Copies of this chain bind each other. A is one copy, B any other.
Amino acid sequence: MRDLARALYAEVADLPIISPHGHTDPSWFAGNGAFGNASELLLVPDHYLFRMLYSQGVRLEDLGIGGHPADPRAAWRILAERYELFRGTPSRTWLDWVFSEVFGLEVRLDGETADLYFDTITEALQTEAFRPRALFERFGIEVIATTESPLDTLEHHQAIRQSGWSGRVITAYRPDPVIDPDFEGFQANLDRLSELTGEDCRSWQGYLAAHRQRRAFFAQMGATSTDHGHPTAQTANLSSTEAERLFRRVASGGHAPAEAELFRGQMLTEMAAMSLDDGLLMQLHPGSFRNHNRKLFEAFGRDKGADIPMRTDYVHALKPLLDRFGNERDFTLILFTLDESSYARELAPLAGHYPCLRLGPAWWFHDSPEGMRRFRRMTTETAGFHNTVGFNDDTRAFLSIPARHDVARRIDCGFLAELVAEHRIEDWEAAELARALAYDLAKKAYKL
């Protein structure tokens, strides 16, 4: 079985990388400037790393998180001395890959080698071969999607396109800041959206028109998808009169918490309607309790490793949207979850029935060997492989992208080898599926 897994993997290991959803910074590819140093590149932006260090008593200030000044070499040493904390985690696998494959470091990272690592990495980053575009090419990335707010001018994406560089970097439409009434600065965001679009975003029709305009602009900048990071998967299907009335309350800030939830739900359905017109597929990433640690949020801001998954219902929550668009063949809604108990119970049965639904890969905390295996074991028998969409790295840790795709390819090949060993599929089918999971399905589902 291990031999078969290895043989399957050998055939897909070098396929180009399709990265249809993630959070890399387009300015890297626009400016192609050198990355700063080991800590700035690998530690400070990686909430997987600093959350674990924090859980074991390290102060975020000492790592230079949240704008607090810290000596990058000293911060790196803190990581190095505690690298054993990451045993058994995917962060360890990804970092080891970066150290050895990208920087050629073969000694073990610990307190004694901390400086060697810091210097080797930091020096390499000053060379041409480690500029963003050079790494993009070296990594074999065929296309990568970033994620931007409607309020983003997409100037970096424009610069990339005008630069003549052949790398394909596209955007994705993530409208949470102007859709979620609980988002910081929601009111100001509406005003900014009005300015950007020339629409009156205090009126329901103007607000919807502004979305349509920005979506069209994003599509022009290569976007093939939208993305929605709501606390729940709740959708709604209000009459247009009710929707307008709700919008007025939300836009004036005088809404109740339940109205914020209802508005987010209604906007998912509105976005679906727009998708049917402009062809952008939808992604829904629900179920994270954002910024759970109040004091940390106040001192260091959002996205500091304190987002905690919640139990998430899909069967009731999605019904309003599905009642309206569930049977559409020209609309795609890709569902993600942080609640694995929904894989076999809700998500696979939904995706194995509704024409518009597809399942995104194991997400975030579950983007790991065990997590990916659970995903395949709990979804395949009901939804099959063709209702899934290949792999997303979903990361801002640019250097780890090949490692993440590599882990996914290995785990999927391992799973396929199990199916062959149990006579559930033939080996030639496993080979076809290995390629589909590594490359074809992502390309097709995301229209890339």
| Chain A residues packing against B (C-beta within 8 Å) | 51-52, 54-57, 84-90, 92-93, 289, 292-296, 305-311, 313, 315-316, 319, 322-323, 326-327, 329, 338-341, 344-346, 348-355, 357, 365-366, 368-371, 377-378, 380-387, 419, 422, 424-425, 429, 432-433
Contact = CB atoms under 8 A, between A and B. Distances in A.
A84 B429 contact: yes
A433 B339 CA distance: 29
A353 to B, nearest CB: 5
B387 A381 contact: no
21 contacts: A51-B353, A52-B352, A54-B355, A55-B352, A55-B357, A56-B387, A84-B386, A85-B386, A88-B381, A88-B384, A292-B322, A307-B349, A308-B315, A308-B346, A309-B315, A338-B345, A344-B365, A368-B382, A369-B422, A370-B377, A370-B378
Contacts of A309: 315, 345-346, 349
Counting from the closest, the 9 A-B pairs by CB-CB distance are A368-B381, A88-B380, A341-B341, A309-B345, A370-B377, A51-B353, A308-B349, A308-B315, A365-B382
Contacts of A295: 323, 326-327
A51 B85 contact: no
B381 A90 contact: yes
B384 A365 contact: no
A192 to B, nearest CB: 32
Contacts of A378: 370
A354 B53 CA distance: 10
A87 B436 CA distance: 12
A371 B353 contact: no
A330 to B, nearest CB: 10
B344 A340 contact: yes
